[in-house]
Structure 1
Amino acid sequence: MPTVREAALDVMRRYDLTTVFANPGSTEVPFLAGLPDDIRFVLALHEGSVVGAATGYAIARDAPALALLHTTAGLGNAVGALCTARVNRAPLVVVVGQQDRRHLVQEPFLAGRLEQLAGDHPVRTETPPRAQDVPGAIARAAHAARTLRGPAVVIVPMDDWACPAEELPLPAPAELRLSDAADPGDVRDVAELVGAASALGLVVGAGADHPGTWEALTRLAERTGAEVWQESFGARAGFPQDHPLFAGHLPADRTRLRETLGPYDLVLTVGAPVFRQYPYEEGPLVRPGTRIVLVTDDPAEAHRAPAQLAVVARLPSFCAALADSVDGSRTSGGGRTGGERSRRGGASRNRRAAPPEPPAEGEPLRAAHVLAELARRLPPETVLVEETPSSRPDLHALVPARRPLGFLSAAMGALGFALPAAVGVRMAAPERPVVAVVGDGSALYQIQALWTAARYRVGVVFVVLANGRYAIMDRLAEKHQDTAPWPDFEEVSVSGMAEALGCSARRVTGHAELLAELDALLPELAHSTRPVVLEVAVKADEVFQP
């Protein structure tokens, strides 16, 4: 009779969960000891890095990844990263260890009240009632992670693994299909609204980051001449940002949002919420007369959208059918054809920001100098993982996403995402060059992830924009016209910590030195197995205004 552990390993193989990201403790040893050779174990030094790397791995593969956490302390440390994974819609199977089932009633040392510890961030949480139910619970978690797009948690007492398994079919579907069919009636209704619009605007978001959706939305924009906006705070790009019809990123305040969307009588939003805002402002999202249609694969996004019509569908197939259904030859907007509107949009939008002039001899670098030089050198297929809050507007202005998965950020806004996520992305997609652009303050939240990158020879270039402070917090304090009580941390050496964790690192202080380092590192990035940290000293009190 096989054990529960052996049956669970078979389930993991069936669902391609054969890479285990973990920072384990004693409650996980019965599962991990003697792990078979076909199961890859990846150690991270903090649970935030465990879940962050698994999140990047899952996003890059567009398939569930497995994270293994240690009872109360491990799950508790990982809650913030689980929240990020949920908002990033990353499919994760999260197995959490628990004390021995046979004395749980006595609340022994390391026992945890785990079911509610992560709140409602998991899409599913299950403690199997018997040891024999563990393999089925892992299978159900894989389905839930994939269909509900988030982390699904399975809590397993440590003695369950050695128990005999049942020779019964798993209480979970052997196959679960997500239909790619686009309902013809829904497609027709949206196409009619698009065709009747005199001025159409498209808003795209992270949910549209798929090769099929990019291709379909590009055809739709070109046939209608619609200008395309990226959602604010978008974690992924939903449209090629070097396309002439790409208009930019939506502002995150209602006043400017109304102004930006004011020219359109119809706004078609695809794969994005309607609309993500920060901070709060009074007033409507759009002006009277502007109608909103949402197409999304996220039911919760549809439920809260103030839209005239919301359609929940698989986006690649729906958008392809919609692009096929829209007649690009029809006149629209005062007699302009779709092609004429396209040329008009291309002339009026997507004027990429001119890069700043290089600093004069002896002048400090700014973040925009670094980003402009990256933009000149990065291959189109690069995955850029971002976590630099004070420099994100510069990055959007200077470094366009040119391929699906060309841009990745933390949808939740919690710091500590980029370093481990970049590691996971590169492990899942070794054919894609990966660059992480991170503020020094952000890097400190999961600096331990560099050890995992070095230990497993994950070839990522980590560009750390080091201004020695939380610059975004300083700017927020300035808006309140008050002083900030927090100090700077210029004495912190990210490159020094990187080297202590076994990762190659350099500190860059000048423009010529920056160019030399980028020219040496980036051409070999696609084939590199050596992680490198470039800690680039930048001036904190200057903001590039494109």
Structure 2
Amino acid sequence: MPTVREAALDVMRRHDLTTVFANPGSTEVPFLAGLPDDIRFVLALHEGSVVGAATGYALARGAPALALLHTTAGLGNAVGALSTARVNRAPLVVIVGQQDRRHLVQEPFLAGRLEQLAGDYPVRTETPPRAQDVPGAIARAAHAARTMRGPALVVVPMDDWARPAEELPLPAPGRLCLPAAADAGDVREVAALLDAAAAPALVVGAAADHPVTWEALTLLAERLGCPVWQESFGARAGFPQDHRLFAGHLPADRTRLRETLGPYDLVLSVGAPVFRQYPYEEGPLVRPGTRLAVVTDDPAEAHRAPVELAVVAALPAFCTALAETALAETADRTRGRAAGADDGSDAPAPAGRRPEPPQPPGHGEPLRAAHVLAELARRLPAETVLVEETPSSRPDLHALVPARRPLGFLSAAMGALGFALPAAIGVRMGAPERPVVAVVGDGSSLYQIQALWTAVRYRVGVVFIVLANGRYAIMDRLADRHEDTAPWPGFEEVSVSGMAKALGCSARRVSGHAELLSELDTLLPELPDSTRPLVLEVAVEADETFQP
């Protein structure tokens, strides 16, 4: 009779959960000791890095990844990263170790009250009632992670692994198939809204980040001749941002949002909420006369959308059918808003016009983040995955560095810091054919700096560009808006490159424009084949303005 551990490993193999991201503790040793050769173990030095790397790995592969956490301390340390995984809709199976089942009633040392510790962020949490139910719980977690697009937790007491398994009927489907076809009636209803609009616009979001969806939305936008906006604070790009119809990123306050969307009589959001905001402002989202509709694969997103029509659908199939319907309905018409034409309406020209990159700093002038990002944009291969976590420089990054391929941009949808370093490592491990660059603020980097050790240990070739201004610059600007003094100091003494070296990662610090160009010209051509992580800490002057 096989053990529960052996049966669980078979379930993991069936669900392609053969890479285990972990920071182990004693309650996990009975599972981890003597892992079979076909199970890869990836060590991270903090649970935030464990879940962050697993999140990047899952998003890069489009399939669930496996993380292992150590009872209360491990799960508690990982809750912020789990919340990011949920909002980023990353499918994760998370096994959480628990004390020995035989004396849990006495609450022994390291026993955890685990089921509610992560709150509502897991899409599913299960503590199997018997040891023999553990393999089935892992299978159910894999299905839940895939279908509900988030972390699914299984709490496993440490003695369960050695128990004999049972020969029982399958406790979960061996395979779970989801409908992928588009409902023809829903497609026609959305197509009719677009056909009736004189000045439509599209808003795209992270859920549209798929090759088929990109292709279909590009075809649709070109047929309509309409602008395409990216959702504010988007975790991924939903449309090629170097396309002439890409209009930019939506502002995150209602005043500017109404102004931006005012010229359009229909705004269709695809794979994005309607609409993500940051500072609260009174008033409606859009002006009277602007109709709103949303197509999403997230039922919760549809339920809370203040729109005339909400459709829940598999986006690649739906967008393909919508583009084909739009083509058929407009084939015999001459439309004033066809690509490049001017119909005399008040709608702005749809062509995406990126701002001119800043001039290099003059003699004695400091580097700014925009200088670094402009030079990076000139050199990045189109297939690069750029992982972002630089809040005060995000507007410059969006303006200067377009996502040109699916999965070209990745950020933390939750806004919690500590995502970019481990996520970039996981992305490169999950998609080794893609070059990966992380652009991170120095304050952000400190939340999971220990992730660099994992990159070194497993030879993950990522370039981490740290924009170092020695301040929490975005917080300083927000304090300025309140016209008051910030109580927090700067941290100019902190050397990110020094910490990287202490963790075994190659690192260099530059402060001048010529040095920057030399480093980028050396590093970026090597990036596609690199197995050597490197931190490039760039000293920059903090910008004095910030507009989310």
Task: Give me the TM-score of the superposition, normalised by structure 1.
Answer: 0.98
Counterparts in 2 of 1:213 and 1:464: CA distance versus 1, 3 Å: same
Alpha-carbon distance in 2 for matches of 1:359, 1:281? 37
Please tell me whether the aligned partners of residues 55 and 423 of structure 2 are also in contact (alpha carbons under 8 angstroms): yes
Amino acid in structure 2 at the alignment position of 1:510: G
Structure 2 residues not aligned, in runs of 5+: none
Please tell me whether the aligned partners of residues 368 and 544 of structure 1 are also in contact (alpha carbons under 8 angstroms): no
Aligned to 1:246: 246
Aligned to 1:402: 404
How big is the shift at 1:448?
Answer: 0.6
How big is the shift at 1:116?
Answer: 0.3
Please tell me whether the aligned partners of residues 22 and 44 of structure 2 are also in contact (alpha carbons under 8 angstroms): yes
Please tell me whether the aligned partners of residues 28 and 97 of structure 1 are also in contact (alpha carbons under 8 angstroms): yes
Aligned to 1:117: 117
Per-residue CA distance 1:137-169 (angstroms, 9 max, x = gap): 000000000100100000000000000001123
Describe how 1:309-324 pairs up with structure 2 within 5 A: 309-324=309-324
Instruction: Say whether residues 1:232 and 2:236 are aligned partners.
Output: no
Classify the secondary structure of the residue corresponding to 1:193: helix
Alpha-carbon distance in 2 for matches of 1:202, 1:338? 15
Amino acid in structure 1 at the alignment position of 2:324: D
Instruction: Say whether residues 1:363 and 2:346 are aligned partners.
Output: no
Instruction: Say whether residues 1:199 and 2:199 are aligned partners.
Output: yes
Alpha-carbon distance in 2 for matches of 1:343, 1:219? 20
Q: Which has the higher mean CA deviation after the structures are superposed, 117-126 or 341-350?
A: 341-350
Per-residue CA distance 1:344-377 (angstroms, 9 max, x = gap): 9895531111110001122210000000000000
Please tell me whether the aligned partners of residues 468 and 537 of structure 2 are also in contact (alpha carbons under 8 angstroms): yes
Amino acid in structure 2 at the alignment position of 1:461: V
Aligned to 1:393: 395
Classify the secondary structure of the residue corresponding to 1:338: coil
Please tell me whether the aligned partners of residues 468 and 489 of structure 1 are also in contact (alpha carbons under 8 angstroms): yes
How big is the shift at 1:97?
Answer: 0.1
Aligned to 2:477: 475
Aligned to 1:373: 375
Please tell me whether the aligned partners of residues 384 and 435 of structure 1 are also in contact (alpha carbons under 8 angstroms): yes
Alpha-carbon distance in 2 for matches of 1:244, 1:360? 32
Aligned to 1:422: 424
Counterparts in 2 of 1:81 and 1:342: CA distance versus 1, 3 Å: farther
Alpha-carbon distance in 1 for matches of 2:460, 2:323? 39
Aligned to 2:108: 108
Per-residue CA distance 1:243-274 (angstroms, 9 max, x = gap): 00000000000011011111111111000000
Alpha-carbon distance in 2 for matches of 1:87, 1:32? 29
Per-residue CA distance 1:72-93 (angstroms, 9 max, x = gap): 0000000000000000000000
How big is the shift at 1:339?
Answer: 3.0
Q: CA RMSD in A?
A: 1.4
Amino acid in structure 2 at the alignment position of 1:278: Y
Q: Which has the higher mean CA deviation after the structures are superposed, 233-242 or 357-366?
A: 357-366
How big is the shift at 1:421?
Answer: 0.1
Alpha-carbon distance in 1 for matches of 2:487, 2:451? 29
Alpha-carbon distance in 1 for matches of 2:226, 2:201? 5
Alpha-carbon distance in 2 for matches of 1:66, 1:483? 45
Alpha-carbon distance in 2 for matches of 1:329, 1:508? 56
Aligned to 1:280: 280
Alpha-carbon distance in 2 for matches of 1:330, 1:270? 26
Describe how 1:143-162 pairs up with structure 2 within 5 A: 143-162=143-162
Q: How many residues align?
A: 543
Amino acid in structure 2 at the alignment position of 1:482: D
Instruction: Say whether residues 1:210 and 2:210 are aligned partners.
Output: yes
Instruction: Say whether residues 1:263 and 2:263 are aligned partners.
Output: yes
Counterparts in 2 of 1:330 and 1:474: CA distance versus 1, 3 Å: farther
Aligned to 2:142: 142
Classify the secondary structure of the residue corresponding to 2:339: helix
How big is the shift at 1:540?
Answer: 1.1
Instruction: Say whether residues 1:12 and 2:19 are aligned partners.
Output: no
Alpha-carbon distance in 1 for matches of 2:411, 2:167? 44
State which of 516, 519, 532 in structure 1 corresponds to 2:534.
532
Alpha-carbon distance in 2 for matches of 1:237, 1:330? 33
How big is the shift at 1:331?
Answer: 5.5
Please tell me whether the aligned partners of residues 330 and 338 of structure 1 are also in contact (alpha carbons under 8 angstroms): no
Percent identity reads 84
Please tell me whether the aligned partners of residues 246 and 350 of structure 2 are also in contact (alpha carbons under 8 angstroms): no
Classify the secondary structure of the residue corresponding to 1:259: helix
Counterparts in 2 of 1:230 and 1:214: CA distance versus 1, 3 Å: same
Please tell me whether the aligned partners of residues 22 and 47 of structure 1 are also in contact (alpha carbons under 8 angstroms): yes
Counterparts in 2 of 1:364 and 1:340: CA distance versus 1, 3 Å: closer
State which of 485, 493, 496 in structure 1 corresponds to 2:495.
493
Per-residue CA distance 1:45-88 (angstroms, 9 max, x = gap): 00000000000000000100000000000000000000000000
Amino acid in structure 1 at the alignment position of 2:317: S
Amino acid in structure 2 at the alignment position of 1:358: P
How big is the shift at 1:21?
Answer: 0.3
Alpha-carbon distance in 2 for matches of 1:7, 1:443? 40
Amino acid in structure 1 at the alignment position of 2:81: A
Structure 1 residues not aligned, in runs of 5+: none
